[in-house]
């Protein structure tokens, strides 16, 4: 597939005889990379003039070249632990989940604490989570920490509780029930505190290797004091700087009230005081903050973890310090709290400055016409995860059980956001839903609620260029001259134009429209296979035997 010549500096590579997805030339079949930048995109005939002067020629053999994906919301260490450890997301029954815990405990006799993730009692025929006695038996009496699939609640063994003095007095503790809130955070800190530096780095390497094998060139790590800790974030950023793999942009989820506190976020290496700065919890754990009670738990409206005043102080301090702010908000009440707080901050420091800062909101699932308009007016980026709708949407899904069918049908309104001009950045929230960029694009284009669907092209842009724009960078995530050489090669079928409105699709497939095609992502079909991933002009993944 490759012809090599004697390298020089900066090194140049010509890719030819394929399909190059570029707005610079919708019919491009070739591309030249010089060092860490795209130098040229064009036709096969014009590529002949470059062939003799480059250091490497890559014959694409019809492969598709696209910008590398950006996953705008990831928990890297937790993803690696799920990839290499106890992942219960595929357990079909409660009995099978307990059997997996037993097998894992036998296989890891030296682990001080057994760590697992991914359980979901609603997916099991038993329709219940294991009790503490069952967990004690399955773990052999050892400390066990199992996060629910949404990572907003956890099951623990008695020995795990014993490692956290005073745990029974903390908010979110209930006997023989999943831990939430402060109790969950305390147990998570104790459990993750048992990880050695080697265990952390191994997990981070596993997650980064998985990402590049899927054509992901950048990760937005959502860290924080209640999530993973400073040591974990510093270690991840150092690893990413030293070893080949995806770029890692860190966010630190801690409230700040002054420029001095905002500066400390930068000292950690984070690009913003944002990410999972919790305004509420999750729908699955009944902790997302709602305006009206849950349909299946009418005695609760979830947890309000911030008020508008705290949001305003944080956003104003970050804006004045030139640091990006952001929040985790899922329920309609939590999203409204965030937008109200951002507007108060804008009244203090100026709307233009708030808009220019490109603050962001993670998840933003339960939106109203008012909050969509607020997002647009305040230039808030919606960092969203289409995999959530794929996993929990639909008439029979978890959303409908929690909220009722009418409210559930309003969730994740991507089309309304794009119509309003709200910038989207797509991600996975891995390990909540798996890394899988083409699957996320498919989930957005074939949303379970038809009116919320967006075109494949719109979703693809949100998962490539959108992630860079969410960082405040507009010259990346696209294959045009001068852009960073972050790209992926794919084996795929014929390229098409897919949109929720057939009139748009029909117009776009006319060659005169100049709309570049993308893989057919109709549900049930195979997603493209990544052949190679390049970050900054450096190959970080090559599919074996290709």
Q: Give bridge partners of residue 383 from the DSSP assignment.
A: 362, 425
| Digitized pLDDT (tens) for each residue of the chain, 546 residues in all | 555 554 446 899 999 999 999 998 989 999 999 999 999 999 998 999 898 889 999 999 999 999 999 999 999 999 999 998 899 988 999 999 999 999 999 999 988 999 999 899 888 999 999 999 999 999 999 999 999 988 888 999 999 999 999 999 999 998 888 999 899 989 988 988 888 898 899 999 999 999 999 999 999 999 999 888 899 999 999 999 999 999 999 999 999 999 899 989 999 999 999 999 999 999 999 999 999 999 999 999 999 999 999 999 999 999 999 999 999 999 999 999 999 999 999 999 999 999 999 999 999 999 999 999 999 999 999 999 999 999 999 999 999 999 999 999 999 999 999 999 999 999 999 999 999 999 999 999 999 999 999 999 999 999 999 999 999 999 999 999 999 999 999 999 999 888 776 555 444 555 555 678 899 999 999 999 999 999 999 999 999 986
pLDDT digits (tens, 9 = 90+) for 478-495: 999 999 999 999 999 999
- Tell me, what DSSP letter sits at residue 197? H
With beta carbons less than 8 A apart as the criterion, state whether 430 and 72 touch: no
Q: In what order do the strands lie in the sheet with 154-156?
A: 86-87, 114-119, 144-148, 154-156
Q: Return the ∠ at Cα 251 (arms to 192 and 308), rounded to 5°.
A: 105
Task: Kindly report whether the peptide bond that precedes residue 431 is cis, defined as omega within 30 degrees of 0.
Answer: yes
Structure tokens, 412: 């994740």
Lookup result for tokens 């956001």: 417
**CA torsion sign, 245 to 424 to 256 to 165?**
negative
> Which of 181, 223, 214 lies closest to 78 in space, CA to CA?
223
pLDDT at 514: 62
Find the helix or strand (DSSP H, E) in which 221 lies.
strand 216-223
Helix/strand/coil for 318:
helix
Question: What span, in angstroms and rounded, lies between the C-alpha atoms of 357 and 405?
Answer: 37
Question: What span, in angstroms and rounded, lies between the C-alpha atoms of 430 and 385?
Answer: 10
Question: What span, in angstroms and rounded, lies between the C-alpha atoms of 383 and 291?
Answer: 22
Q: In what order do the strands lie in the sheet with 247-252?
A: 69-74, 216-223, 247-252, 272-273, 324-329, 360-363, 381-384, 424-426
pLDDT at 509: 52
Q: Are strands 360-363 and 56-59 parallel, antiparallel or unpaired?
A: unpaired
> Which of 277, 280, 284, 303 lies closest to 408 in space, CA to CA?
284
Structure tokens, 428: 């996975």
Which contacts qualify for 503-512: CB closer than 8 Å, 24 or more apart?
504/455, 505/455, 508/457
CA distances in angstroms from 127 to 54, 92, 122, 124, 401, listed in the order given: 61, 11, 5, 5, 13
What is the maximal distance between C-alpha atoms in the chain?
73
Backbone torsions φ then ψ of 447, nearest 5 degrees: -50, 145
Give all domains of the chain, ordered by start, each with its CATH number.
12-68+479-492+528-542 (2.30.40.10), 77-193 (3.10.310.70), 203-471 (3.20.20.140)
Q: Give bridge partners of residue 329 from the DSSP assignment.
A: 363
Listing DSSP states for 51-86 in one string gives GGGSSEEEE-TT-EEEEPEEEEEE-HHHHHHHHHSE
pLDDT at 52: 87
């Amino acid at each position: 597939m490759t012809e090599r010549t004697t390298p020089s500096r900066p090194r140049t590579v010509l890719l030819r005889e394929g399909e190059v997805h570029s707005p610079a030339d919708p019919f491009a079949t070739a591309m030249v990379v010089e060092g860490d930048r795209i130098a040229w995109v064009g036709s096969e005939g014009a590529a002949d003039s470059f062939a003799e002067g480059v250091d490497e020629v890559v014959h694409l053999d019809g492969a598709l070249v696209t910008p590398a994906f950006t996953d705008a919301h990831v928990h890297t260490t937790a993803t690696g632990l799920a990839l290499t450890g106890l992942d219960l997301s595929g357990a079909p029954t409660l009995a099978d989940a307990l059997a997996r815990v037993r097998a894992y405990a036998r296989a890891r006799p030296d682990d001080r604490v057994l760590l697992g993730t991914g359980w979901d009692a609603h997916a099991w025929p038993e329709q219940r989570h294991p009790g503490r006695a069952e967990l004690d038996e399955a773990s052999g009496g050892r400390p066990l920490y199992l996060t629910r699939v949404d990572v907003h609640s956890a099951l623990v063994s008695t020995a795990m509780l014993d490692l956290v003095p005073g745990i029974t007095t903390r908010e979110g503790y209930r006997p023989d029930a999943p831990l939430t809130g402060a109790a969950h955070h305390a147990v998570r800190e104790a459990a993750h505190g048992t990880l050695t530096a080697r265990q952390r780095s191994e997990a981070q390497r596993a997650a980064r290797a998985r990402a590049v094998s899927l054509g992901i060139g950048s990760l937005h790590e959502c860290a924080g004091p209640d999530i993973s800790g400073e040591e974990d974030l510093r270690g991840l950023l150092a690893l990413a700087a030293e070893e080949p793999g995806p770029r890692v942009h860190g966010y630190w989820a801690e409230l700040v009230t002054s420029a001095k506190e905002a500066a400390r976020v930068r000292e950690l290496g984070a690009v913003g005081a944002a990410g999972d700065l919790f305004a509420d919890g999750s729908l699955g754990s009944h902790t997302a903050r709602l305006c009206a009670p849950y349909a299946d738990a009418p005695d609760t409206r979830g947890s309000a973890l911030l008020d508008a005043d705290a949001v305003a102080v944080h956003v104003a301090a970050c804006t004045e310090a030139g640091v990006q702010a952001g929040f985790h908000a899922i329920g309609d009440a939590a999203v409204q709290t965030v937008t109200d707080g951002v507007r108060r901050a804008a009244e203090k420091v100026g709307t233009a400055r708030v808009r220019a800062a490109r603050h962001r909101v993670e998840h933003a699932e339960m939106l109203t016409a008012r909050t969509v308009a607020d997002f647009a007016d305040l230039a808030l980026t919606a960092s969203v995860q289409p995999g959530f709708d794929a996993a929990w949407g639909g008439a029979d899904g978890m959303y409908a059980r929690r909220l009722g069918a009418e409210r559930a049908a309003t969730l994740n309104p991507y089309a309304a956001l794009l119509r309003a001009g709200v910038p989207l950045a797509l991600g996975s929230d891995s390990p909540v839903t798996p890394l899988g960029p083409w699957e996320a694009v498919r989930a957005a284009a074939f949303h379970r609620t038809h009116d919320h669907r967006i075109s494949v092209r719109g979703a693809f842009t949100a998962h490539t260029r959108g992630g860079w724009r969410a960082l405040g960078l507009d010259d990346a995530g696209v294959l045009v001259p001068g852009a960073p050489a972050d790209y992926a090669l794919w084996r795929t079928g014929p390229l098409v134009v897919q949109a929720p409105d057939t009139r748009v699709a029909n117009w776009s497939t006319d060659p005169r429209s100049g709309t570049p095609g993308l893989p057919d992502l109709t549900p049930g079909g195979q997603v493209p296979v990544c052949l190679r991933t390049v970050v900054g002009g450096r190959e970080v993944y090559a599919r074996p035997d290709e």
